[in-house]
Amino acid sequence: MEYSPKLSEHEHIESNYRLYSAHTRPSRFVSPADRLPEELLVSIIKILIEPRPSSIGPLLFISRYWHHVAVTTPSLWSKIHSGPRSLEGVRKDTKYVQTAVKNSASLPLDIAIDLQNLDCWSENDINTTVSHKDREHDREILLYGLIKAFVGDNRINAARLRSISLNNMYQKGFSFISGEYATSKLLKELDCPTPLLESLSLRLTSVDPYFKSIASLQDLRALKHLIVDAGGRLGYIKFIPKMIQTLFFRLWGTTKVLSQFTGLRNLSIANWANAGLSYDADPELTFPLLECLTWRLWHPSGMKPSAALLPHKIKAPSLTTLRLLDADAIVVVGDADTYHHVHTLDLLSSAPEEIIGFVKQNLYKYTALVNLTVFPRDLDVVRDEIRALQDQAPTGLNSLYTILSDKEGTVVDASIKLPSWRPADDYIYKKHDRSLGGSTTIPETWGADVTEEVL
């Protein structure tokens, strides 16, 4: 049975489709697109909408056949992404989410809501008769409606949620702030069984006020990936530590906090600096399965740089990828003797002198190194320093990489502070030959030869 879904990008899609059908005369001619096997057509549509699932709308107008296949294939609707740029966009995306949830039948749902580009004061939304306070209230109500659209009335869809990503940082003036209302509403809506929830990604100022006094997210037995751009006390989040494979967090405390995470494969530690805390007595931590480790160790002025001890205490025999995102991490890890077996090394600091110092003093120790990534600005000088090492350079290092942009198209350079909560494969890279000075002309993501090292 065919029906026309209501899509955010095409508010009148249902009436337009009826109008289109009414003026279409039967014809014996069948276009090549309508002769595609259904399985092949589904694969094509998945490829077309993969960057942005909500872009499925225009594909429904190609023909009745495409429309029928699309709306009757639940897997085309189970990955839901919303990235509104205006309040009107929030309204439209709410309708899209409602349609997608319905068309996905009973499949597990993967939800991503990105509010970073939300402009609450765009010209299309401005109403000079509405006060600032009322406008803020309207914004929060709309965001709550967007969340309610995928959770469902009476939380009927909570048991189907497999992954949730909420980037609730939006621009206000020249800075980004965190909208607390949407996050609080999301967690309260999830105060119910979520037995399939494997991945949770949130951007918060701290987890403590969100998890300490509420009973949400108590059923996290299936949680494997916890990506929280915040600090706080992990004990407030009711998950099973040994089940966690991915942990991105600004931890507050000593290395003992990590001792229960024996199943980690991907760990990112940022801004672990605490005044008055000592890590001298902490035991060494061994993560037998850890494959990718990201460090950011910058500490505010006046804080003890006690975090410098942490990289020396972590042992990861299976580690293949090491990402160092600031000058402090490069200096501290350079003095550690525990990571020389990695295959991929990212030196992504905005301070080139620390990178050059690392190459001169420590690169020769990384005997298994195959891939090295730096910012484009640092490429030539790093390549010259590697050549100067001559016989001391790692014999397997033949490829240098530079980051061009993230997958959203934002250009990346040394002036940008890379988020520690974003994995390496969120970026587009360019591959350069280490010895000849040449480079590929086509940007690439981490391909088959590198992905295994990164992931």
pLDDT in tens, 273-319: 554 455 566 678 899 999 999 998 876 544 445 545 778 888 999 99
Q: Say if residue 95 is in the same domain as residue 215.
A: yes
DSSP code, position 36: S
User: Which regions of the chain are under pLDDT 70?
Assistant: 1-29, 120-135, 169-180, 213-218, 251-255, 271-282, 299-308, 434-455
The pLDDT score that the predictor gives to residue 47 is: 93
The pLDDT score that the predictor gives to residue 129 is: 59
195-247 pLDDT, tens digit per residue, is 999 999 988 777 777 777 655 566 788 999 999 887 777 777 888 889 999 99
What's CA 152's distance to the chain center, in Å?
24
**Which domain covers residue 181, as residue numbers?**
80-239
The pLDDT score that the predictor gives to residue 50 is: 87
The pLDDT score that the predictor gives to residue 239 is: 85
**Do 111 and 150 meet the contact criterion of CB atoms below 8 Å apart?**
yes
Give me the number of domains the chain comprises.
3
Name residues whose C-beta falls within 8 Å of residue 39's C-beta, 6 or more positions apart in sequence.
none
Q: Is residue 235 domain-resident? A: yes
The pLDDT score that the predictor gives to residue 447 is: 42
Determine whether 120 is exposed, middle or buried from the number of CB atoms within 10 Å of its CB (0-12, 13-18, 19+).
Answer: buried
Q: Is residue 289 domain-resident? A: no
Query: Phi then psi for 207, rounded to 5 degrees?
Result: -80, -20
Q: Is residue 425 domain-resident? A: yes
Q: Say if residue 198 is in the same domain as residue 310.
A: no
Q: How far apart are CA 405 and CA 425, in angstroms?
A: 11
Q: Is residue 349 domain-resident? A: yes
Q: Say if residue 342 is in the same domain as residue 378.
A: yes
Q: Which of 246, 278, 277 is nearest to 263 (CA)?
A: 246
Q: Say if residue 86 is in the same domain as residue 232.
A: yes
The pLDDT score that the predictor gives to residue 20 is: 45
Q: What is the pTM of this model?
A: 0.80
Name residues whose C-beta falls within 8 Å of residue 25's C-beta, 6 or more positions apart in sequence.
none
Q: Is residue 323 domain-resident? A: yes
The pLDDT score that the predictor gives to residue 207 is: 79
Q: Is residue 143 domain-resident? A: yes
The pLDDT score that the predictor gives to residue 281 is: 65
Q: Which of 154, 269, 169, 164 is nearest to 217 (CA)?
A: 164
The pLDDT score that the predictor gives to residue 104 is: 95
The pLDDT score that the predictor gives to residue 1 is: 41
Q: How far apart are CA 222 and CA 164, in angstroms?
A: 13
Q: How far apart are CA 369 and CA 336, in angstroms?
A: 16
Q: Say if residue 427 is in the same domain as residue 324.
A: yes
| Polymer length of the chain | 455
Give percent helix, percent strand, percent coil of the chain, each to the nearest 5. 40, 20, 40
Q: Say if residue 13 is in the same domain as residue 146.
A: no
Q: Say if residue 210 is in the same domain as residue 322.
A: no
3 state DSSP class of 362: helix
Q: Say if residue 209 is in the same domain as residue 188.
A: yes
**Do 318 and 288 meet the contact criterion of CB atoms below 8 Å apart?**
yes
- Give a three-class secondary structure readout of 137-176: HHHHHHHHHHHHHHHCHHHCCHHHEEEEEEECEEEECCEE
